[in-house]
A and B are shown apart, each in its own frame.
Chain A
Amino acid sequence: MADKQVVRELKDKAYQMRVNLMTLCGTFEGSVHIGGDLSMTDVMIAWYHYGLNVNPEDIQMPTRDRFVLSKGHGAVGMYIAMALRGFFDFDEILKTYGKLNSAYGMHPCKVNLPGVETSSGSLGHGLPIACGMAYSAKVKKQSHRVVALLGDGESQEGSNWEAMLAAHQYKLGNLVAVVDRNRLQLDDFTEEMMSMEPYADKWKAFGWNVVEVDGHDMEQLVDAIDNLPPTSSDVPTVMICNTIKGKGVSFMENNPDWHAGSVSPEDMKRAIDEITEAYNKERGEM
Chain B
Amino acid sequence: MGVTFNFGEFAASRTICGDTLQAMGERNDKIYVMTADLMRTCSVKGCKKAFPERFINVGIAEQNMFGMAAGLALEGNIPYVTTMATFASMRACEQLRTDICYQNLPVRVVATNAGLTSTGGSTHNAMEDMGVLRSMANLTIIVPGDPNIAKDILLATENHPGPVYIRLARGKGEPVVYQPGEVDYKVGKAIETKAGKDATIIACGVMVSQAVDAANILEKEGISVRVLDMHTIKPIDEEAITKAAEETGIILTLEDHYTIGGLGSAVAEVIADNNLNCKFKRMGIPQLFPGFGDGPELYDKYGFGLEGTVETMRNMLK
Interface residues of A (CB under 8 A from B): 30, 72, 98-102, 104-107, 109, 111-112, 119-124, 153-154, 156-158, 185-188, 190, 193-194, 259
Chain A interface mostly helix, strand, loop or mixed?
A: loop
Residue of A nearest to B59 (CB): A194
Chain B interface mostly helix, strand, loop or mixed?
A: loop
Task: Decide if B20 is an interface residue (CB 8 Å cutoff).
Answer: no
Q: Is the CB of B123 within 8 A of A157?
A: no
Candidates B57, B61, B297; contact of A100 at CB < 8 Å: B297
A89–B60 CA distance with the chains assembled, in angstroms: 33
Q: Is the CB of A154 within 8 A of B60?
A: yes
A95–B166 CA distance with the chains assembled, in angstroms: 37
Residues from chain A with Cβ under 8 Å of B38 in the complex: 186-187
Residue of A nearest to B124 (CB): A121
Stretch of B2-10, B227-235, B286-294 with 4 or more beta carbons under 8 angstroms from chain A: B286-294
Residue of B nearest to A121 (CB): B123
Residues from chain A with Cβ under 8 Å of B297 in the complex: 100
Q: Is the CB of B59 within 8 A of A153?
A: yes
Q: What is the CB-to-nearest-CB distance from A120 to chain B, in angstroms, rounded to a whole number?
A: 7
Residues from chain A with Cβ under 8 Å of B41 in the complex: 186
Candidates A107, A190, A193; contact of B121 at CB < 8 Å: A107
Residues from chain A with Cβ under 8 Å of B40 in the complex: 186-187, 259
Residue of A nearest to B122 (CB): A109
Q: Is the CB of A187 within 8 A of B57?
A: yes
A53–B38 CA distance with the chains assembled, in angstroms: 37
Q: Is the CB of A100 within 8 A of B123?
A: no
Q: Is the CB of B293 within 8 A of A100?
A: yes
Q: Is the CB of A106 within 8 A of B119?
A: yes
Task: Decide if B37 is an interface residue (CB 8 Å cutoff).
Answer: yes
Residues from chain A with Cβ under 8 Å of B16 in the complex: none
A154–B59 CA distance with the chains assembled, in angstroms: 9
A106–B120 CA distance with the chains assembled, in angstroms: 5
Task: Decide if B223 is an interface residue (CB 8 Å cutoff).
Answer: no
Q: Is the CB of B59 within 8 A of A111?
A: no
Q: Is the CB of B121 within 8 A of A121?
A: yes
Q: With A99-B293, A106-B119, A106-B292 in contact, do A185 and B124 touch (Cβ < 8 Å)? A: no
Q: Is the CB of A188 within 8 A of B57?
A: yes
Residues from chain A with Cβ under 8 Å of B58 in the complex: 194
Residues from chain B with Cβ under 8 Å of A109 in the complex: 121-122, 289, 291-292
